[in-house]
């Protein structure tokens, strides 16, 4: 279902989502700065592909939910968000 999406974690605690294949690019499709306070060491997708668990050197495990296919819930931009802080795209 979501085989065209790759998630990666940075040493600075940033969580990145990448599109693979025809929708792919050299830039991440979404970036979550400060997802963790320290380096992200492990990422695991739920078998259904809608949930991602991340483990960090900050001794926290966090769960990240994705919209289901076709849903736009939660994708409206806040007037307080800066474009350079969070990148959003279809992932």
φ and ψ of 5, to 5 deg: -120, 135
Q: In the sheet that 51-56 helps form, which strands lie side by side, from edge to edge?
A: 40-45, 51-56, 61-65
Decide if pLDDT at 91 tops 90.
no
Of the pLDDT bands very low, low, confident and very high (cuts 50, 70, 90), residue 14 is very high
How high is the pLDDT of residue 12? 96
- In angstroms, what CA-CA distances link 68 with 1, 5, 16, 28, 49? 10, 13, 18, 20, 9
pTM, entire model: 0.70
pLDDT digits (tens, 9 = 90+) for 39-86: 999 999 988 788 999 999 999 999 998 766 666 665 555 545 454 555
- C-alpha 8 chain-centroid distance: 8
pLDDT classification of 89: cutoffs 50, 70, 90? low
């Amino acid at each position: 279902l979501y085989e065209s999406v790759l998630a990666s974690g940075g040493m600075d605690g940033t969580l990145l989502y990448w599109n693979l294949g025809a929708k792919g690019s050299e830039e991440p499709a979404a970036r979550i700065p400060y997802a963790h306070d320290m380096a992200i060491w492990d990422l695991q997708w739920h078998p259904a592909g809608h949930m991602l668990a991340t483990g960090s050197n900050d001794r926290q495990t966090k769960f990240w939910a994705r919209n289901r296919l076709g849903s736009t819930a939660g994708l409206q931009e806040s007037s307080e968000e800066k474009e350079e802080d969070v990148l959003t795209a279809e992932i």
